[in-house]
């Protein structure tokens, strides 16, 4: 079958499978699982892959990771990796859709937590399943191999556990086949059906921050007989917001704390406070600088109050780097699939995604795909009047338009096919 006919077959199969893609997405959305607990999600994935006739499936990688390998019927050296993350978030959903999650994880460390796919990983997973079925339907026309990577724990495992992309690499996920590229797209609140492309570091470097402030427990009515850790914690949070001023202003950096744990009550000043946060920077060379400044702030602030404090940096994630070479290979394929007018240059963001590990290890690219009723306003986005509004990733109201997922699927299968065809012809 000539390449033109294969491309047409891919589009025809994608259109036929789209209703299933949406159905799978709704199922996953109603049954979300937190990082490193994606057991049922993995079982669902494996069952679907078996139904598609994909025989080479590896399960239980780095927890609940799944890798499926589809070897094409034509000779070719390419191994096109397609990746989806499969975990959800500890968020109580308020999107209003009729397939909204009501799941609560009673046993997760620090929980119980409501659980929701508030970052769109249900879209990612359902689409990668659909891509597997589409590409399996033209297996005999594929000049090489396609690898489907279903990654757990992208949102970060519990602090005392390992997980995510690096854990999959370390666990030998790619010993059966080594990708010649890995491609993915994150759904985002950019205009429906558009693709945002950034050359260079598009997602930030990240680390998890754990600060423990140690005081001395005392009755709340007599704080002078103890050492109160709360003012220390408050000053650390306040002071951390100024760390960006100690790094060149041209390099975006954020230091944020999102969770506090203590052991007191209204009339007991507890003996310690735990702060959990994150550092983000687009230039990963700034990470050590930000960490050093935060460490000095933590230790000196504690000393000023007669307390002690420690800071630990965990779960280091490198930035997603889309090199000019890979963007020049992948972007034209996307423009051919959906039209150049729907592909735009987007700014970098301080969100992180450990897809960066795969891109760094094997090459490839990672872009954003629009699933909401928004429009571009300069380098930003705003809701379309009369639409469903704009809800950021990790927001309880986050939503994704089902109809937009067809072109999302088409992009995945065409990027994989064109990569294999390019390597087979050169």
Match 């659980």 to its residue by tokens: 115
CB 355 within 8 A of CB 83: yes
DSSP run (H or E) holding 310: strand 308-317
* Contact between 35 and 315 (Cβ < 8 Å): no
Q: Could you tell me if residue 370 is left (phi over 0), alpha (psi between -120 and 50 degrees) or otherwise beta?
A: beta
Distance separating alpha carbons of residues 280 and 316, to the nearest angstrom = 10
State the binding site: 119, 121, 155, 186, 394
Q: At what angle do helices 39-51 and 3-30 cross, to 10 degrees?
A: 150
Binding residues for Mn(2+): 119, 121, 155, 186, 394
385: left (phi over 0), alpha (psi -120 to 50) or beta: beta
- CA distances (Å), 194 to each of 65, 108, 293, 335, 413, in order? 29, 36, 39, 10, 17
d(CA 308, CA 210): 14
Q: How far apart are CA 71 and CA 240, in angstroms?
A: 51
Q: What are phi and psi of 88, to 5 degrees?
A: -115, -170
- Token pair, residue 3, equals 């390449």
């Amino acid at each position: 079958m000539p390449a033109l006919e294969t491309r047409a077959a891919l589009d025809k199969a994608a259109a036929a499978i789209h209703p299933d893609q949406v159905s799978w997405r709704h199922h996953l959305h109603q049954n979300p699982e937190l990082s490193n607990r994606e057991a049922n999600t993995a079982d669902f994935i494996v069952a679907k892959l078996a139904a598609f006739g994909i025989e080479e499936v590896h399960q239980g990688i780095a927890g609940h990771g799944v890798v499926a390998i589809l070897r094409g019927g034509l000779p070719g050296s390419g191994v096109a990796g397609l990746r989806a993350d499969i975990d959800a978030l500890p968020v109580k959903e308020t999107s209003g859709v009729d397939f909204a999650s009501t799941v609560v994880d009673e046993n997760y460390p620090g929980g119980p937590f409501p659980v929701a796919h508030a970052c769109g990983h249900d879209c990612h997973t359902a689409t990668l399943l659909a891509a597997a079925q589409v590409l399996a339907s033209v297996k005999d026309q594929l000049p090489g191999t396609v690898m489907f990577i279903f990654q757990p724990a992208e949102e970060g495992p519990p602090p005392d556990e390992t997980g995510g992309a690096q854990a999959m690499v370390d666990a030998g996920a790619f010993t059966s086949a080594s990708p010649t590229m890995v491609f993915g797209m994150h759904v985002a609140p950019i205009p429906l059906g558009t693709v945002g492309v950034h050359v260079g570091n598009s997602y930030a470097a990240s680390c998890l921050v754990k600060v423990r402030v140690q005081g001395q427990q005392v009755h709340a009515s007599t704080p002078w007989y103890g050492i109160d850790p709360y003012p220390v914690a408050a000053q650390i949070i306040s002071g951390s917001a100024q760390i960006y001023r100690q790094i060149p202003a041209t390099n975006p950096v954020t230091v944020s704390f999102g969770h506090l744990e203590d052991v007191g009550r209204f009339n007991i000043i507890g003996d310690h406070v735990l702060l959990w946060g994150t550092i983000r920077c687009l230039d990963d060379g700034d990470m050590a600088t930000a960490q050093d400044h935060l460490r000095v702030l933590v230790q000196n602030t504690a000393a000023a109050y007669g307390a002690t404090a420690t800071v630990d940096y965990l779960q280091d994630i490198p930035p997603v780097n889309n090199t000019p070479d890979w963007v020049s290979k992948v972007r034209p394929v996307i423009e051919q699939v959906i039209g150049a007018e729907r592909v735009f240059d987007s700014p970098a963001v301080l969100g992180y995604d450990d897809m960066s590990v795969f891109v760094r290890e094997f090459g490839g690219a990672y872009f954003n795909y629009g699933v909401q009723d928004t429009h571009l306003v300069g380098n930003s986005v705003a809701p379309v009047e009369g639409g469903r509004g704009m809800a950021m990733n990790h927001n309880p109201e986050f939503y994704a338009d089902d109809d937009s997922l067809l072109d999302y699927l088409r992009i995945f299968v065409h990027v994989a096919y064109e990569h294999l065809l390019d390597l087979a012809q050169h």
